Amino acid sequence: MKKEIHISYQKKSSDLGKVQIPGSKSESNRALLINALCVRSGEIKNLSSARDTQLMSSLINSSETEIDVMDAGTVMRFLTTYFALTNQQKVMTGTARMQERPIKLLVDALQTLGVLIEYLNKDGYPPHKIVRFNSQLSNSVSIDGSISSQYLSALLMLAPTLEKGLILNVKNGATSRPYLLMTIELMKHFGVEVEIEGHRYKVKPSTYTFKKFTVEPDWSSASYWYSIFALSGAEQLELTGYRADSLQGDSALAQLMLPFGVKTTFGENGALLTKQEAHLPASIDFINNPDLAQTFAVICAALEHSCVFTGLHTLKIKETDRVLAIQQELQKFGADFVEEGEKWTVVPPSGNWMETEVFINTYHDHRMAMAFAPLACIMPSVTIESPEVVNKSYPSFWADLEKVGFKIV
C-alpha cells in the first residue's frame, strides 16, 4: 500500500481527449438493493467499480451473521433497512469512524415499524443487532430529513415489501433531495410508484419487476475533471456516457461550473466540456449537492476567488469532518475556509503560493484526495497521502490522470 504519491502536470495539448468515468455509486447501490427485492433479479449494467458498490454487491446476499460495511455509510444505512425489514438477524458493524456516525434516526423509524434492534456499544451508533421483525406495527413513520436523505431512500425502497405499505412524513425538509428523487425514479423504473404530497411520501404494498438498467457514469467523480479542465488551461475534454436527463443530483455540476468558464454540451457520446467567459459567483448553495463542496473549495482557492458556501451542515458527519479537513488543507498554501454560523467562506491565498509544493492529508476520505489533486495543474508538485482512498468511489482515478498527461510518482 502506497503511503503517498507525487503529482505533477505539464500542459501538452489543449484537448484532453476522452475520459470514461466509472458508473455512479449512488445509482449502483440503489439498483442493487431494488434488484435484490425483485421477484426475479437480473443484470445491472455498468455497475460502479467503487469499493462501496463491491461491498454492497457482496454483502446484500451474505449468509454471515455479522455484516462489516467498513467505512461505507450508504451501505450501512441501506443494508440495515434491508436486513431489518426482510427479517434477517444480523449484527451491523464497520470501521472506528463508522461507529462514530449516527444511525439513531433510522433505527427509531425501523422500531416504529416493528423491528427489534439493539445497540451493542453506544446508543444511537453502530454496531447494532437486528433481532427480529415479526409484524408491521405501523404504516406511518415521521423522520427528520435534514440529516441524511439516505435514511429516507432506504425506507422508501423497502416500503413496497411491507404488508401495510408506508407513509413517510419528512420533517425539516430533505437534505440532498435530488438523491431522494433518484431513488423514486429508480423505484418507478422497476415498477413501484411513490405518491408525493409536499413532504409526505406514500408507497402501497407492491412488487418490484426487473427491467433492464444501465448505470450512468458518476457525476460526483466528474467534478474532479471539471476542476482539472478549469485549472489546466485545456480547451476541450469529453466525458463519455453522460446524459442530459441524468437521475443524479450532482449533474447540477454542469450548471454550477458555467460561472467558472466551463460549458457543457451533451451529445450521443456524452458530455463535451469547452471554455467560455467566466463570471465567478459570490456564493454557492450546496444543500442539494454537498459532495461537490470540496471540489469547489479547491477551485475557488486556486482561482484566488473568495466565495461563500452554504448548505454544508452534513459535511461534519461524513467519512471525516470535511469542513475541518478542507480548512486545514487549504491553509497549507495560504488559503482558508472560515465558518461563521451557517456560512463558510473560501479565503483565497496570496503571494507566490503557486510556486510552492504542498502535501495533502486525506483523512481516510476519497473526496479529499481527488478534490485536491487538480492543484497539480498550477503548482509544481502536489503530494497526496494514502492515495488508495480513491478505491472507495473511483479506483481508476490515478490511472486516468496519467492517460491525459499527469505524471504520478
* Nearest of 140, 195, 200 to residue 170 by alpha carbon: 200
The C-alpha cell at 166 is: 408506508
Whole-angstrom distance, CA of residue 158 vs CA of residue 56: 16
Report whether 153 contacts 73 (CB < 8 A).
no
In the numeric block, the cell 504542498 is attached to 358
Report whether 52 contacts 75 (CB < 8 A).
yes
In sign, the C-alpha dihedral spanning 281, 274, 293, 188 is positive
Angle at which helix 73-85 crosses helix 51-59, to 10 degrees, equals: 20
In the numeric block, the cell 486545514 is attached to 328
What contacts 3, CB < 8 A, 6 or more positions away? 385, 386
**Catalytic choice (52, 71, 291, 400):** 291
Helix, strand or coil for residue 4? strand
Query: How many Cα atoms occupy the beta-carbon half-sphere of 395 within 13 Å?
Result: 10
Q: Which residues pair with 360 in a beta bridge?
A: 384
Catalytic residue flag (residue 400): no
Helix (H) or strand (E) holding 73: helix 73-85
| Cα distances (Å, whole numbers) of residue 316 to 41, 63, 125, 144, 313 | 37, 34, 16, 17, 7
Helix, strand or coil for residue 321? coil
The C-alpha cell at 289 is: 449537492
Q: Hey, which residues are catalytic here?
A: 291
